[in-house]
Amino acid sequence: MAILDQLGIDFPKIIAQIIIFGIVYGILSKYAFGPVTALLEERRSRIAAGEANLDKIKENLSSSEAQAAAALAKANAEATRLIKEASDAAAAIGEQKKQDAVAEAQSIIAKAKEATELERARVMAELKRDFGRLVIDTTSKVTGKTLGSDDHARLNQEALAQISM
């Protein structure tokens, strides 16, 4: 015991301190360590759940990005197809309009030619009639006699034959 006295250790005080320490430890275990440990465990589980949710969110995000990229690619392909169809339809309509315009122009040209031919025939008939009358009038004035219907017909035939050449 001499060594304990030299070190300043008093045996009854150490036993009292051990008992007090045990009582404080028991009280702290029951009222402080349990709730703090439970709180830490609850916090640990929430953090783990948060990390799990974060992993799920990352997976969902990558899945959503892939779906969005696929939808965008599909939309681009559909838009390209629609543009091509519209372009083809416009070209077909343009070609049809061009053909319609050519046909209408040809129809107008044919009608104009027909009208020109009719007008030419009418003018030629009028010219022949007037020319025949002038020939008959001139002949009757030059000869000084009145011409008969046979003479009129013969002179008209001769004049028309000369004009037709």
- Overall domain count for the chain: 1
In a domain? residue 1 = no
In a domain? residue 6 = no
Return the pLDDT at 3: 78
Hey, how many other C-beta atoms are within 10 angstroms of the C-beta on 132? 19
CB neighbour burial string for 41-50, b if at least 16 within 10 angstroms, e if fewer: eeeeeeeeee
Span 64-84, pLDDT tens digits: 999 999 999 999 999 999 999
Span 105-128, pLDDT tens digits: 999 999 999 999 999 888 888 877
In a domain? residue 48 = yes
Judge whether residue 154 has pLDDT over 90.
no
In a domain? residue 5 = no
Distance CA 103, CA 19 (A): 121
Asked if 26 and 32 count as a contact pair (C-beta separation under 8 A), the reply is no
Q: What domain range includes position 62?
A: 11-164
Distance CA 17, CA 23 (A): 10
Distance CA 64, CA 57 (A): 10
Please tell me whether the overall predicted TM-score, pTM, comes out greater than 0.95 for this model.
Answer: no
In a domain? residue 4 = no
In a domain? residue 24 = yes
In a domain? residue 15 = yes
In a domain? residue 39 = yes
